[in-house]
Amino acid sequence: VEEYKRPNFDVTLEGKKAGRFGQNLEVEGRARLLAGVPLQGASVHYVVECGATPFRWWLGNDREEWNLVAEGELVTDEKGEFLIPLFLTDEYRKDDRLLVRFRVKALVTDMSGETHEGEWGINVSDEEYVLETDVANVVDLAKDGTFKVEAYNANREKVDLQGDFQILHADKVVA
């Protein structure tokens, strides 16, 4: 059994919450000593992978296998930071899948050989949001005309929207 060694630094990755196919993004990485001091001059090996999934991915674990999109080498700057380029390609999207999940991993190794990993992900779609409603529970719109409509981005985070809508039944407007 190997003796526990307290880590000397940690790695974090951050980026946009949602994206659309064709965008170029940058994932911001940061390596800091546990004392809060930036880890300068550390080597960074990053991997970008993606997998197609249904838009309603949160209903189950229906993700495809991961495909390698890109990998590369970087070095942390004087602030302990690094930028990972990310092109949101639809190359791995399946015809019946509306979402592609991108996963970025960064392995940071300091001068002594200690290595830690950070991970970040984003769901990407052609659609900016999806709407959900509980209108299926409404039996009679004249009596039970109240229902909720909520909008979510591809990462299943609520989005505030305003607009008009119509409810159709057999191609006729009913509300």
Query: What is the tens place of the pLDDT at every residue in 114-148?
Result: 999 999 998 888 777 777 777 666 666 666 666 77
Is the pLDDT assigned to residue 165 strictly greater than 90? no
Three-state SS at 135 = helix
Length in residues, the chain: 175
Cβ contact 55:127 at 8 Å? yes
Per residue in 93-116, pLDDT (tens digit) is: 776 556 788 999 999 999 999 999
CA 157 vs CA 27, 36, 130, 144: distances in Å: 19, 30, 10, 28
CA dihedral over 56, 57, 59, 62, signed as positive or negative? positive
Identify the bridge partners of residue 133 per DSSP, sorted by sequence position.
149
Per residue in 16-66, pLDDT (tens digit) is: 877 888 889 999 999 999 999 999 999 999 999 988 766 555 555 555 678
User: At 79, is the pLDDT very low, low, confident or very high (cuts 50, 70, 90)?
Assistant: very high
Residues 27-40: b if buried by 16+ CB within 10 A, e if exposed: bebbbbeeeeebbb
Tell me what pLDDT residue 112 has: 94
